[in-house]
Structure 1
Amino acid sequence: MPMRVALVCGSFSPDRDGVADYVARLASGLAAVPGVEPVVVSAATATAECVRVCDRWDLQGVRAAARAIAGLAPDVVHVQFAPSAYGWSPAVGLLPLLLRRHTSAPVVTTLHEYGWWSWPRRVPATVWRALERTRAWDRETFALAPRSAALVTTNAGHAATVRSRLGREAQVVPLGPNVEDAGDERDAARAEAAARYGLPAGARLLVFFGFVHPVKGVRYLIDALAQLRAEPAYADLHVVVAGGFTSLALPEDEARAFRAELEEHSAQRGTTDAVSFLGHTPAREVSRLLRAADLAVLPLTHGVTAKSGALLAALDHGAPVVMTLPERPADRSPELVDGVNVVTVAARRDGEALAVALRRALDDDALRSRVAAGGRALAEGRTWPVLAARHAELYASVAGDPVRA
């Protein structure tokens, strides 16, 4: 009998959420591993094919989910945790306690987001630290992380937070790219992009890829573009923003308002003709754009780490990446090295600093070639078949173990 793994995803809508897209890719990879049977379970709000186990992730819904998941007779339950995916409800943190009433299947949890949230917020940090010292409760996940048989993070920063709070070692299993390389030749991709977006011959192309949200820093990319285009050497620059605005983190009404705000900001900065907002973009077109890009630009306001699927997609396509860094060195991904596999920006929320980094990369052909090659080498070990195999090994290691008491 294959090992059945219930992959718990808060809202399985890969077109609206990065974690859901991750789960879809992981499930596909696991399905190709001999002896593993992945089953995605989610709430009624899911838009992709899955087993719907509750209406919502409140206490009543988590109780229903525990019964329904147990009814699937899983060998392992793998919870994908990010607060927004569960509607900011902390009740999912009770899932291990409720599951053990119905099944002995161990719980594995991947902490996609960790280290910044707590519920309720009014509880002082000193109280949380005292609770966490008991190794039974956690300010962000309640019993989920403490009672899981194994914890996974996608980056070393989250693993360090787990270690300091809970005294546990999380396995770091990095993300893979969230867009498959379609294999376009660079010259053909550039010609297609030039024709599609009306670029003049020889124009240089900057590409932002990902869900568009205020924290993604697109406003500062527009500011940097305006500053650079005022200089004759960069008057041909064009930015393509490839990504939808509507997501779990930005509902439709807010997404429309934010897009209008960015378009107005671009008009005020005089870059309307130099910025293309594509909205949700098919993976095939994103792949072509990443092949065509002179630079992929990720100016996130909280900085970029290796847990970014968009970053891995750009690296995998051989696009030189310019990116912001998290403020705290402890939160940075040590494998991302300025001048080796990325070009870093000195500050966040700063169009002028971003312009400096873009100018540095645009003016140095050798730098772009070096970081493109280094980025591709970094991405090579992070393919979804490799990552699925690592998960399968983890499941096998815990499948005979009871859930922690």
Structure 2
Amino acid sequence: MRITFICGSLNPGQDGVGDYTRRLAAQLALDGHDCQLIAINDVVGDEETADGTQIIRFKQLLSNPEKSQQAQQLIAQWQPEWISLQFVCFSFHPKGFIHRLTPFIQQCVGTAKLHIMFHELWVGEQPSLSFKHKVMGGIQRQLILKALRGWQVSAMHTSNALYQFVLSHHGYSASILPLFGNIPIETENEPNVAPSLDSKKRTLLFPFSQRHDWNVSETMERFRDLAHAAGVRLKLIQAGQIRAGSPHWSTIQEFCKTHEWECELLGPQTEQSISKLMHEADIGVSSAHIALAGKSGAVAAMQEHGLPVICTITDPISRRFKPDLNQTDELYSLFDDTTRLEYLFSSPKRFAPKARLPSVAKQLIESLSTSTT
């Protein structure tokens, strides 16, 4: 199958969806498919070939008719069977307004079929958002729904049940395509046991950043109570680019000092180093809501490495959507089911590491192959 992927940026290590697209295309190439990658709002203009895959990066293409026409010609010459739009509205416009993206995609499609992977929708579903963000989200919603009415979409995916519900509410059917991790597994033969040598210490790993509005004080107090109930002390490790989560870590460091816990703020690390930390930790921590854990590459990476993951956000994510919390031995919500969480801190259980990427690539191809529209 020949697939052209379109996304905002393909800047390596700096754009989550761009890294996702690169890794997915590399797996598809291994499976015998042909891929073309085009970024239309990147930080540089560049062209390269990686493992036989054509990668083309444009700066601010949507505001430049010449670049737009050039991209359309490159796609037409390559003759894809499918165009796969990796959708995050903020990737294409600083406020997420896609009025220029809509005609560009219409002009690119030609005889190809159009697939959309909704990594994000519009903002505004969360009741606690500010009035400003709700207004902005309303404009985003109108523009996205208008685009969907104009585009001839043959297949649609998203990574989580909330977005699936919202799209269904507006008359669009999207299947779930799980995310794979953003950190490759260095060793797939780690022992299926908690790795701590000290039976009274639990290592909690916080990969990458946390949300700017993360409930950090409540989270630390909850960890304190769970550690006390389990009779263990904690070691907290942050690894990866911290970005919006930076202000939280002074609070965390002070809390750890007060309770005589260890705390390491490592910052940016190689993928190999982060993979090693995921192998060595007892529990992974995410600032996502459990119902949105499916859209987090960090959560997927921790689960691929065999880590049980605790999601720490509990604010309502939608007035209409009633999530199935879907707590399992691999995924927990911090402020629910105290008994299970106390047992996790007392006897953390790791799982056999397993990469999802091959199965996700296979699922995508099977879905596109069976599309009848």
- 1:54 matched to which residue of 2? 58
Distance 2:278 2:345 in 1: 16
Q: Paired residue for 2:129?
A: none
- Structure in which a larger fraction of residues adopt strand: 2
Structure 1 106/326 Cα, relative in aligned 2: closer, same or farther at 3 Å?
farther
1:143 maps to what in 2? 147
Return the alpha-carbon distance in structure 2 between the equivalents of residues 29 and 396 of structure 1: 17
Contact 1:63/1:98, CA 8 A, preserved across alignment: no
Match of residue 384 from structure 1: 357
The 2-side partners of 1:232 and 1:30 are apart by 45
- The one of 206, 216, 219 equivalent to 1:208 is 206
CA separation in 2, counterparts of 1:207 and 1:56? 37
Q: Which residue of 2 aligns with 1:41?
A: 38
SS at match of 1:306: helix
User: In structure 1, which of residues 395, 400, 403 is the aligned counterpart of residue 368 of structure 2?
Assistant: 395
- What is the aligned counterpart of 1:81 among 69, 75, 87? 87
In the aligned structure 2, how far is the partner of 1:124 from the partner of 1:295? 34
C-alpha distance in structure 2 between counterparts of 1:117 and 1:151, whole Å:
21
1:177 and 2:194 matched: no
SS across alignment from 1:52: strand
**1:145–1:396 CA distance, 2 compared to 1 (3 A):** farther
Output the TM-score relative to the length of structure 1. Answer: 0.71
**Deviation string for 1:193-246 (max 9, x for gaps)?**
x9xxxxx88532111123444256566545555677889944x31101122124
Provide structure 1 residue ranges, at least 5 long, that are not aligned to the other structure: 129-136, 195-199, 247-254, 348-352
Aligned pair partner of 1:16 in 2, 14, 17? 14
Stretches of structure 2 lacking an aligned partner (at least 5 in a row): 49-53, 126-131
How many pairs are equivalent? 349
Distance 1:301 1:48 in 2: 38
**Which structure 1 residue ranges, 4+ long, deviate > 4 Å from structure 2?**
46-50, 117-125, 186-191, 215-232, 328-334, 355-360
Contact 1:58–1:92 under 8 Å retained in 2: yes
Cα deviation, residue 72, structure 1: 3.0
Aligned to 2:241: 244
Shift of 1:11: 0.6
**CA-CA distance at 1:300 after TM superposition:** 2.8
Residue 338 of structure 1 is matched in structure 2 by 327
**Letter paired with 1:280:** P
Give the distance between the partners of 1:26 and 1:76, measured in 2 at CA.
15
Question: Could you tell me whether the CA contact under 8 Å between 1:93 and 1:141 is conserved in 2?
Answer: no
Whether the 8 Å contact between 1:244 and 1:279 is mirrored in structure 2 is: yes
Residue of structure 1 equivalent to 2:108: 99
Asked if the contact 1:204–1:237 (Cα under 8 Å) also holds between the matched residues in 2, the reply is yes
Aligned counterpart, 1:350: none
Distance 1:170 1:85 in 2: 21
CA contact (8 A) 2:290 2:332 kept: no
Q: 1:206 to 1:332 in 2, by over 3 A?
A: farther
| 1:67 positional shift | 3.9
Cross-structure match for 1:25: 23
2:257 aligned residue: 271
Q: Which residue in the other structure is 2:51 paired with?
A: none
Match of 1:361 among 312, 334, 344: 344
Note closer, same or farther for the CA distance 1:357–1:217 as it changes in structure 2 (3 Å cut).
farther
Q: Name the one with the larger helix percent.
A: 1
Matched residue SS, 2:201: coil
1:31 CA drift (Å):
0.6
